[in-house]
Amino acid sequence: MALFWKQEVALSVLSSCDNYIETSITYKAKTFITHFIYGEPDHSKRKERAEGTFGDFRVFLSQCDLYDVPYSGNPLSWRGVRYSHLVHCRLDRALSNGLWADLFPYSRSLYLEFEGSDHRPLLSLLEPHMKKKRGIFRYDRSLNENEEIKVIIEKAWNSSSRATVEQRISTCRREISRWNHKHQQNSQKIIKEEKQKLEEAMSSSVLNQEVIAEINQKLKSAYQKEEEYWRQRSRTLWLALGDRNSGYFHAVTRGRRTINKLAVIEDNEGTAISSNCVDIVNQAIQPCITPETNEVLITDPSPEEIKEALFSINPDKAPGPDGFSACFFQKNWLVMGPNITTEIQEIISTGILPSSLNNTHVRLIPKVPSPKTVAEFRPIALCNVYYMIISKILTKRL
């Protein structure tokens, strides 16, 4: 086995043999360990394969936090003859762990066409050319208990008596973003600092229980914020591993991030497509509301009905384009409730829905690992909570 690299890559060989090379690679100031492995091609030199080899391999992948790098192309990378039968199977793959996926979140592998060998070339791209995306605002629900944020939200919401609910939400988003820039909270850094302080206090010859209690309280608060941060991003709706689950939630998030990266979409012929695929997924929707049903739908909702619709939304549900999940409105209902109630009653009464109110993020959720065709994705719509309140009122009346 031979290994080549360009001058722009700093590579050190840590260990090697005929079929294995362990390397340390530095690329654009990012350093990582890479193993290159090729099975022994000479049958006479191969060891007898144990019956549970592949089971052991799956355990190895799980224990080492290894995932397939998202791939496209035909994954049946090897062809050969076994007992006079032509066989195609996947023998070649690129694997990475969660930390590596954090370094190269858009990495992917391409199975290329056969070229003189019975193995397909496997091309792994660390940083495929992609358009840079502007950061998306996401409300951190750990701010719900921050007294300063509560004051900022109330002040922003009531900054203009003539503002619409959408304008009030936009003002809150702007003011919270400003606060976040000034008070960037790094719970991991706080945990590290407080643990150091606790070590010093516990090792001191001076007995000071008040100082130790204060440090422990700050440490507990930092752990809770860290756990909440990763729970929100993993969107796992239960706590099952005790009080310090940030490592678990972090792993869930990294695993989802690796699996959910959209590397390519292919048509039914296996050809990668880059144009708009609306025609592939668009389906006709026929009207099914009768005049009698419509009369029920346009009845003015009561304040209780509107509040019930909001509080029936899971507070951890992924937010829409405005970046606010239901917990934001539920926690601040006393401030926001009157304006939201009045405006929703007006929308249903007049039948006029502001065009921007139903702005939606459409997300494609993979049904299988490394999906490629449209049929292998499940589309979900992430609507703004304000729109979801109206939607829930109407659907409950049907």
Q: What is the DSSP string of 343-355?
A: HHHHHHHH----G
Per-residue pLDDT tens listing for the chain (398 residues) = 788 888 888 899 999 988 889 999 988 788 889 989 887 777 776 665 545 555 677 888 888 888 888 888 888 888 888 888 888 888 898 998 888 888 888 888 888 888 778 888 899 888 776 556 666 788 888 788 889 999 999 999 999 989 999 999 999 999 999 998 887 666 777 788 888 888 787 777 777 788 888 888 888 887 777 776 666 555 444 444 444 455 545 555 555 555 455 556 666 666 666 555 555 555 545 667 888 888 888 888 999 999 999 999 998 888 899 999 999 999 999 999 999 999 999 999 888 888 888 889 888 888 876 677 777 888 888 899 999 999 999 999 88
Tokens of 41: 């091609």
Question: What stretch of H or E contains 247?
Answer: helix 246-260
Q: How high is the pLDDT of residue 236? A: 41
Q: How high is the pLDDT of residue 22? A: 93
Q: How high is the pLDDT of residue 344? A: 94
Distant-in-sequence, close-in-space partners of 226: CB < 8 Å, separation ≥ 6:
187, 188, 191, 246
Distant-in-sequence, close-in-space partners of 90: CB < 8 Å, separation ≥ 6:
75, 76, 77, 78
- How long is the chain? 398
Question: What stretch of H or E contains 21?
Answer: strand 20-27
Question: What stretch of H or E contains 37?
Answer: strand 30-37
Question: If you ran DSSP here, which 8-state letter would residue 136 be given?
Answer: P
Q: What are the respective helix, strand and coil percentages of the chain, to the nearest 5?
A: 45, 20, 40
Q: How high is the pLDDT of residue 244? A: 46
Residue 83: CA atoms inside 13 Å, Cβ hemisphere, count?
0
Q: How high is the pLDDT of residue 159? A: 93
> Residue 251: what are its φ and ψ, rounded to 5°?
-65, -40
Q: How high is the pLDDT of residue 266? A: 66
Q: How high is the pLDDT of residue 237? A: 40
Q: How high is the pLDDT of residue 279? A: 58
Q: How high is the pLDDT of residue 133? A: 61
> Residue 110: what are its φ and ψ, rounded to 5°?
-120, 125
Question: If you ran DSSP here, which 8-state letter would residue 300 be given?
Answer: P
Domain regions of the chain by residue span: 1-48, 141-254, 267-397
Q: Which residue has the tokens 């309140």?
A: 389
- With CA atoms as reference, report the closest residue to 265 among 257, 276, 273, 277: 273
| CA–CA distance, 327 with 141 (Å, rounded to integer) | 7
Is the pTM higher than 0.85? no
**CA 16 to the chain's CA centroid:** 37
- With CA atoms as reference, report the closest residue to 363 among 253, 262, 214: 262
For residue 236, count other CB atoms closer than 10 A to its CB: 17
Q: How high is the pLDDT of residue 50? A: 47
The answer to whether 24 touches 12, Cβ cutoff 8 Å, is yes
| CA–CA distance, 305 with 366 (Å, rounded to integer) | 35
Q: How high is the pLDDT of residue 239? A: 41
